[in-house]
Amino acid sequence: MPGGHDHSRVYERLAVAGGELAGAVRRAGGEVVGPEAADAAVAVGDSALSSLAGEGLPVLAVDVDGVPSVPSEALEDALAALVDGTVEESERPLLGVEGADTDARGLFDVALFAAEPGRISEFRLDDGGDPLDTVRADGVVVATPAGSHGYARAAGGPTLAPDAGAVAVVPVAAFGSRADRWVAAPEIGVSVQRDEVPVELAVDGRPAGPVPANRRLSVDSAGALRLLRPATDGLEKL
């Protein structure tokens, strides 16, 4: 969704995550409240932003790579912009997992990985049911454009443009000389083909339980996170 100025909406009741922000919020003329009573939220860092993905609130991100964000030194100006409504809004896609014992949504990535260090497993990958490949690897990560800047990139994956409408599918430490990476539209299916090594699921780096062998997990679009940033040029990191 293209960014647009929103001068008609002010955000005075703010939920906060990832920092001691109560004083800064009050100085800007706002009030710190719980997510259930908030107009918007402020998240400092990747983990804090990810933790708000399921809350349905627009969020001002602080010191986060890969999404519209403000640096911490511009935080007070950014809070003032929230309170007086001089902000613009954009969206970044979220991922959900079907077939797992979790309803968590991820802003950055969904990963399956061998639970025992130094052990590999075998993963079958498909694109909406059409086979992609079977890979032996430490794990597999499916990343949004925001997540393609992080773990997926460290594993050798491509960096995706924010409006790519796609995910990066990247084997982690693949066994053998050939290690394909894919850019694909969700939905991506991943299943574990061997049961010798326990495999765990993680959503944005948070443990989300074991993955039994031969159970297909579907990683698909799950809505979007609304992101706020000051309309004043030069405050945002991205």
Q: How confident is the model at residue 7 (pLDDT cuts 50, 70, 90)?
A: very low
The mean predicted confidence, pLDDT, of the chain is 89
Question: Does 126 share its domain with 185?
Answer: yes
Question: Does 180 share its domain with 62?
Answer: no
Examine the pLDDT at 96 and tell me if it is beyond 50: yes
Burial class (CB in 10 A: 0-12, 13-18, 19+), 233: exposed
How much of the chain exceeds pLDDT 90, in percent? 74
Question: Does 138 share its domain with 183?
Answer: yes
Question: Does 43 share its domain with 8?
Answer: yes
- 201 torsion bin: left (phi>0), alpha (psi -120 to 50), beta (else): beta
Question: Does 114 share its domain with 144?
Answer: yes
**Residue 182 near residue 168 (C-beta atoms within 8 A):** yes
CATH number where 52 lies:
3.40.50.10330
Q: What is the pLDDT of residue 217?
A: 95
Q: What is the pLDDT of residue 119?
A: 84
Question: Does 68 share its domain with 88?
Answer: yes
CATH number where 182 lies:
2.60.200.30
- How confident is the model over 149-189, as pLDDT tens digits? 999 999 999 999 998 999 999 999 888 656 689 999 989 99
Question: Does 179 share its domain with 129?
Answer: yes
Examine the pLDDT at 123 and tell me if it is beyond 90: yes
Question: Does 187 share its domain with 77?
Answer: no
Q: What is the pLDDT of residue 179?
A: 65
Q: How confident is the model at residue 5 (pLDDT cuts 50, 70, 90)?
A: very low
Is 191 within the bounds of a domain?
yes
Distance CA 44, CA 158 (A): 26
Question: Does 12 share its domain with 23?
Answer: yes
Is 111 within the bounds of a domain?
yes
Q: Which domain holds residue 53?
A: 4-93+225-230
Q: Which residues contact 228 (CB under 8 A, 6 or more apart)?
A: 11, 40, 58, 59, 60, 82, 87, 88, 89
Q: Report, as an integer, the average pLDDT of 182-198.
A: 91
Question: Does 87 share its domain with 113?
Answer: no
Is 237 within the bounds of a domain?
no
Q: What is the domain count for the chain?
A: 2
How many CB atoms within 10 Å of residue 65? 13
- How confident is the model over 212-227, as pLDDT tens digits? 999 999 999 999 999 9
Instruction: Choose between 195 and 78: higher pLDDT.
Output: 78
